[in-house]
Structure 1
Amino acid sequence: MKKKAFLYPAVAGFAAYFSFSQIFTLNDEPMITHFDHQSVSSPELHCFHSQSDTFLDDNGELNLLVWNIYKQNRQNWQRALSQLSNNKQLVLLQEASMTTEMKQWITQSKWYGNQANAFKAFDTPAGVLNLSKDNPLLACAYMTVEPWLRLPKSAIYARYPLSNGETLAVVNIHAVNFTLGVKAYRQQLQQLKQELIQHRGPLIVAGDFNSWSESRLSAMRQALDSLEMQEVSFMPDERKRFMTGLALDHVFFRGLTLKTAKAPKTDASDHNPLMVSFTL
């Protein structure tokens, strides 16, 4: 009986590990994949560079979409994404799964993209995704492993040229979620903050911060307040909220003028989108 009592947990543990390894492929280092109108490049180590001289903004206007797209699990995601991204110069997605359908949508919509490959599920890359109408000057991938689930959460630090001669630095983040304390959460934010500290121009930091507790909210705001960033308020504000009533998705900015910000409802994801308009 003792042998059986020992054997059952061991077999169950091995089965769980085997199932995990069959489903998920993890990268040893953060990697980024570049997309253009016609092709998807092989993953590059950490950063993508370009010599783009096309301005991100449209005559001083900068329209932004931020959305956790829930791995495109809802059937109407393509129609919703097409509508929400219309007239946007920058799209920041979280939980983007690089399926054949997503690749086709990107090329048909004539976006340029960079995805941080947090992991692969059934050989399909997943992670945050930046889309713009031309290449960024720089896009670097970051990842932080979930302490419990051991699946990485990803982020992208990117830079884009603006028509006023400045360079916009952008962070697209999907923050770690399943932790007891905020140590891993702070570490992820601090890693990205080190890049932002060095940038003297305008900034945008946005995404799914998983800010479901007061301690997480405090850590998030403490990190970004030190960069003299402002938090966007939304009207209407239909952002996804945890049972604590705290919103999970946020947009912070510096060096830009906020025009409008709304977070409308959609049934195309388990998160509602954030739509923000700035002027330079």
Structure 2
Amino acid sequence: MKFPLALFFISLLSTMTMAIAHADCLAPSSPVNKDLPNIELTLWNVKQAEGILARPPELLNSQSDLYFFQEVNQVGLDLLQTEQGQRSFVQTLHNHKKYGVGILSTLKPCDQYTIEVADEPIMSKIDKGLVVHFYKFKQKSELILKVINVHLPLFMNPTTFGNGAYKRALNKLSHEVLSHRGPLLIAGDFNGWTPSRVRTLLPQFAKSNHLDELTFSTNSGNRAAMMYLDRVFTRGLKITSEETVTDIKDSDHFMRRIEISVESFFEQ
């Protein structure tokens, strides 16, 4: 009888640990404690961290809850956190090379992890991948928000015009979508610049996963915007506003700001 009893206590301890972990992610960092029931996301490919290192006031003075960066490094994340020293952040960085995919969040995630996607030799300093966070809220603790920061391959095998590895990366992203039943926020640099990606692969990805894509009001003025590289997909969310910051010249991508209503979560 001693062995089963020991197993019982181990199981009980594990359950208590999980309960404590989930309770911890509800408060005080939950956005329901804010005056305005919204989450603000800043999305930006910072061009090998140059965008952050230039210290643009549009970034340093930002009050976003989530920052989705591509081509960022630890120095860049630490710099922004230091500049906004009055705010507490959680960092997650997928960075096996010099620059990678990173999230800064004022909200404490219940869980977080990163996923590798195939990379191209020509971009030897820049890691591609996915960074995933999960969040819960007081009003409806069983409802979990999943957010995914994305940077997909640019160039790959020229014999397939890059689509072989690109499809595999999209399949990994689709797996993350299909494994979650709650609301989703997916944003990043999708590198959807070839005709097959723009006309076929990305529309199929959105349709098969029942995702809505945000259309930015400003999509001209730099290379990344004209090619529609930056994309935002949602499921079960209400986007209340979007803004493109066009006067920062420290990256070949525009900075994007998206505001999401938390109230829309509770309508699920």
Fold match, TM over 0.5?
yes
Deviations 1:182-240 (A, max 9, x none): 11111112112212212111111100111111211221231232221111112233474
Counterpart Cα distance in 2 of 1:213 and 1:77: 32
Runs of 4+ in 1 over 6 A off after TM superposition: none
Instruction: Work out whether residues 43 and 188 of structure 2, in 8 Å CA contact, stay in contact via their aligned partners in 1.
Output: yes
Which residue among 231, 238, 251 is the counterpart of 2:213?
231
State the one-letter code of the partner of 1:267: K
State the partner residue of 1:216.
Answer: 197
State the partner residue of 1:186.
Answer: 167
Instruction: Work out whether residues 137 and 159 of structure 1, in 8 Å CA contact, stay in contact via their aligned partners in 2.
Output: yes
Alignment of 1:77-156 (within 5 A): 77-83=55-61, 85-86=62-63, 88-99=64-75, 102-109=77-84, 110-121=87-98, 126-149=99-122, 151=124, 152-156=127-131
Counterpart Cα distance in 2 of 1:255 and 1:129: 24
Counterpart Cα distance in 2 of 1:277 and 1:264: 14
Counterpart Cα distance in 2 of 1:271 and 1:78: 14
Counterpart Cα distance in 2 of 1:175 and 1:191: 11
Counterpart Cα distance in 2 of 1:224 and 1:66: 19
| Aligned-pair CA distance for 1:140 | 1.0
Counterpart Cα distance in 1 of 2:60 and 2:190: 24
More strand by share: 1
| Aligned-pair CA distance for 1:242 | 5.3
State the partner residue of 1:205.
Answer: 186
- Is there any run of 5+ residues in structure 2 with no aligned partner, and where? 1-20
Q: How many residues align?
A: 224
Counterpart Cα distance in 1 of 2:245 and 2:166: 27
More helix by share: 2
Counterpart Cα distance in 2 of 1:162 and 1:216: 36
Q: Percent identity?
A: 25
- Is there any run of 5+ residues in structure 1 with no aligned partner, and where? 1-48
Instruction: Work out whether residues 111 and 131 of structure 1, in 8 Å CA contact, stay in contact via their aligned partners in 2.
Output: no
